[in-house]
Amino acid sequence: DKRIEDIKKIIRDYQDFPKPGVLFRDVFPVVKDPSCFKKLTDLLVEHINSLPEKVDVIVGLESRGFIFGPIIAQALNIGFVPVRKAGKLPGELIQVEYSLEYGKDKFEIQKDAVTEGQKVVVVDDLLATGGTMKAACQLMDKVKAKVLDCLVVIELTDLNGRQKVPYQMSSLIKY
Ligand code: 5GP
The ipTM value here is: 0.97
Report yes or no on 38 lying in a domain. Answer: no
Question: Which residues span the domain enclosing 125?
Answer: 53-174
Report yes or no on 148 lying in a domain. Answer: yes
Report yes or no on 100 lying in a domain. Answer: yes
Ligand 1-lining residues (CB < 6 angstroms) = 24-27, 61, 64, 124-132, 161
Atom of ligand 1 nearest to the CA of 61: 10
Distance 62 CA to ligand 1 centre (A): 11
* Residues contacting 43, CB < 8 A, separation 6+: 1, 3, 4, 7, 172
Site to substitute for ligand 1 among 17, 132, 169, most atoms within 8 A of C-beta: 132
| Residue-level pLDDT, tens digit, the chain, 175 residues | 999 999 999 999 999 999 999 999 999 999 999 999 999 999 999 999 999 999 999 999 999 999 999 999 999 999 999 999 999 999 999 999 999 877 899 999 999 999 999 999 999 999 999 999 999 999 999 999 999 999 999 999 999 999 999 999 999 999 9
Confidence at residue 102, expressed as pLDDT on a 0 to 100 scale: 79
Report yes or no on 9 lying in a domain. Answer: no
Residue nearest to atom 21 of ligand 1 (CA): 25
Report yes or no on 127 lying in a domain. Answer: yes
Confidence at residue 133, expressed as pLDDT on a 0 to 100 scale: 98
Which one of the listed residues 64, 84, 108, 155 is annotated catalytic? 64
How many domains does the chain divide into? Answer: 1
Confidence at residue 103, expressed as pLDDT on a 0 to 100 scale: 87
CATH number of the domain residue 63 falls in:
3.40.50.2020
Report yes or no on 7 lying in a domain. Answer: no
